[in-house]
A and B are shown apart, each in its own frame.
Chain A
Amino acid sequence: MDAAKLKTETITLNVGPQHPSTHGVFHMILTLEGETIVDLEPVVGYLHRNHEKLGEGFTYLQYCPYPSRLDYICGMTNEHAYALAVEKLAGLQVPERAEYIRTIMAELNRMVNHIVSIGFLLNDLGAFFTPVLYCLKQREKVLDLFEMASGSRMMFNYIRYGGVARDLPEGFISAAQEVVGSFPGFVDELEQLLTENEIFVARTKGIGILPPDVAVDYSCTGPLLRGSGVPYDIRRVDSYSIYSRFDFDVVTRPNGDVFDRYMVRIEEIRQSTRIVEQALGELPEGPVMAELPRTFRPPAGDAYGRIEAPKGELGFYLVSDGGDKPYRLKVRSPSFINLGALPVMARGYKVPDLVAILGSIDITLGEVDR
């Protein structure tokens, strides 16, 4: 009997919203044939918290605590994007020392985000929490640095438009140098644990391939795009802040599978370490905040501030009508846009692969649902 003529039925399976490996409250409706995925429909909105409407009700200063709650794992980069947007709108000039401090914080945050992402990818693959806890242990050291500078471990409220909120405390630079010095050893240990592990390689090579033209069509950015071979990094292409002064490589890998995205993240941690070391060495003296009027009213107009967040391109689009509150605030979040490519990547693979693919896109539900 010809296999193609056998009548089969597809089953519909709901993955989530309460699921251990969907990185948050994320719901997928799968259509399965046996174990192979035929179609996938993502359902989002379980964590919607009205960031964009809140932006219209607060003044520019009052909104400052909120961007770090969008993507709570890398809060500094979110605040950086918002600050860039407001500075473009009002034409503010940021002092040198503040730019260096911002770069240090943003790159430290990138390192933290990548190790957390790798740890949770391994958790989804089944390595019962061990890589997660090693990564979280390393993250604790960086969080101590953040607490030293800003006062909080996760919702920083530190990078503001015009500069940073406060100057670095004493002892920060030596502590930061120590933490950054411990990163290469940690990344080497992680690579030894994972990169040549036959089981890990068998679970991730050739899975979830995203061709580069499809990636560009779906507006994917970040490690997702660079893992498919497209060398697009906003820090190079549309250089903001002072990134043009630092010496770092843009990491790309040729295939577009889960293993390559993991390797892109590992290499990016190393490149970020380079940037932070250079910035710590060149930190100039000076003020850390531009002179701002008491009531901040930027002129009418609009501005789009975008940065290379660890997950992709994060952009804030601000429209001002001359008042002290924004008229419209729109967040272009990388996780939400990258998720659009999930059905394309997942068709034809099996259910365990789906979990690996989702882990490699690296989403945070706070950002997807805003």
Chain B
Amino acid sequence: MAALNDLFLNLQRWFVGLLARFLPDWLVMVISMLVVSVMLIVTALVIVLWLTWLERKIVGRIQDRYGANRAGFLPFGLLQPIADAVKFLTKEDIVPREADKVVHLLAPVLMLGASVMLLAVVPFGKGMIGADIDIGILYLVAMSSLSAIGLLMAGWGSNNKYSLLGGMRAVAMLLSYEIPMGLSIVVAVMLSKSLSMQRIVEAQGGWFGLRWFAFFFPVGTLAFLTYFVSALAEVNRSPFDIPEADSEIVAGYFIEYSGIKFGLFFFAEYVNAIVVSSVATTLFLGGWQGPILPPYVWFFLKVFALLFVMMWFRGTLPRLRIDQLMGLAWKVLVPVGLANVMLTGLGIAIFRALGWA
């Protein structure tokens, strides 16, 4: 059991030991970091591919039908994502005539890059983290604002009124939802007294999961719900997918993209969803804590539970209009978030005075 728990750590130690025999120290460090980054990105992209398959199956089952189950020789249509990836790679890359070529090209790169950079600070298991920095939370909040620029670039660079509409809506929405997200993260930070992701996970240990921040009634649950709703808005998923509302403005800001650029947007959206679920798991659901099974298995189980809830929402709820979205953010979530922070602070001060914490 313990060997399974430390599987990846042992692999890394063996690899570093292998290189250290005939390479100088600094080169070993550089190479091992490169390998870790590449592995993180590859894992994320592979999971994203099969996440698209899972989404089609789950939404299909909600709608009393099979979902995609025909592609390839594997049962259940497991090769469908490969077919999709090949389709994206082989389509013609069309750039509109009057479009701003540099902006048009860089937009998907920026969006995918911003999402993938967040993976570096997510703790997948005990000791398994890309970069164990002391201010992981701060890095997280800073990087998640970058995708707003990507969206705006996509909307502007396509020279299309529909995509400009979509881009403007998206930026307004993303900026408004940063605040409730930040406020709910602050609650988790206050409850764990640290900005480092690993320490936040460790602060939720013990008592068979009852110490997870999501169960800290009322501030923890409220913070979790606020975070989840803001996160749905940040990643443009239903019911907040107005920027890509494909029944009104036909795909919104990526209407003029084709081929692999569209594929990159598509992947960026799912990577965003995974990252945001991972952060929610880390901050509120106890990260990799869990009995018996290895920590990384627990982590992925919790992430997939949250992703299932996201897909369930997508299959059921109609979408909110843009001004209703903004109203929700500013008139409901921000006051609730602020009140939450105040309550947490008050609670901590009282507990300290009473000698309980």
A, B bound: yes
A contact residues vs B (CB 8 Å cutoff):
11, 13, 19-21, 35, 122-130, 133-134, 137, 193, 197, 199-200, 202-203, 350-353, 355
Q: What are 17 A-to-B residue pairs whose CB atoms are below 8 Å?
A: A13-B162, A19-B250, A20-B250, A123-B247, A125-B318, A125-B319, A126-B238, A126-B247, A126-B318, A126-B319, A127-B315, A129-B63, A129-B315, A133-B63, A199-B317, A199-B318, A202-B321
Report the minimal beta-carbon distance from B205 to chain A, rounded to whole angstroms. Answer: 37
B245-259 vs A, Cβ < 8 Å mask (1 yes, 0 no): 111111000000000
A127 contacts B318, CB within 8 Å?
Answer: yes
Closest residue on chain A to residue B324 by CB atoms: A202
Closest residue on chain B to residue A133 by CB atoms: B63
B161 contacts A11, CB within 8 Å?
Answer: yes
Residues of chain A lying within 8 A (CB to CB) of residue B62: 130
Residues of chain A lying within 8 A (CB to CB) of residue B64: 133-134, 137
Complex-state Cα separation, A124 to B318, whole angstroms: 9
Closest residue on chain B to residue A125 by CB atoms: B318
Report the minimal beta-carbon distance from B316 to chain A, rounded to whole angstroms. Answer: 6
Query: Is B314 positioned at the interface, with any CB of A under 8 Å from its CB?
Result: yes
B318 contacts A197, CB within 8 Å?
Answer: yes
Complex-state Cα separation, A201 to B314, whole angstroms: 18
Q: Specify which of B161, B249, B315, B323 is in contact with A128 (CB 8 Å cutoff).
A: B315
Residues of chain A lying within 8 A (CB to CB) of residue B247: 20-21, 123-126, 355
Closest residue on chain B to residue A122 by CB atoms: B318
Residues of chain B lying within 8 A (CB to CB) of residue A124: 247-248
Complex-state Cα separation, A277 to B239, whole angstroms: 39
Query: Is B241 positioned at the interface, with any CB of A under 8 Å from its CB?
Result: yes
Instruction: Contacts A197-B317, A203-B321 given; indicate if A126 touches B239 (C-beta within 8 A).
Output: yes
B321 contacts A128, CB within 8 Å?
Answer: no
Query: Is B68 positioned at the interface, with any CB of A under 8 Å from its CB?
Result: no
B248 contacts A21, CB within 8 Å?
Answer: yes
17 additional A-B residue pairs with CB within 8 Å, beyond A202-B321, A351-B248, A352-B248: A13-B161, A21-B248, A125-B247, A126-B241, A126-B317, A127-B315, A127-B319, A129-B63, A130-B63, A133-B63, A133-B65, A193-B316, A199-B317, A202-B324, A203-B321, A350-B321, A351-B249
Query: Is B322 positioned at the interface, with any CB of A under 8 Å from its CB?
Result: yes
Report the minimal beta-carbon distance from B98 to chain A, rounded to whole angstroms. Answer: 16
Report the minimal beta-carbon distance from A20 to chain B, rounded to whole angstroms. Answer: 5
Query: Is B20 positioned at the interface, with any CB of A under 8 Å from its CB?
Result: no
A352 contacts B245, CB within 8 Å?
Answer: yes
Q: Specify which of A133, A137, A199 is in contact with B239 (CB 8 Å cutoff).
A: A199
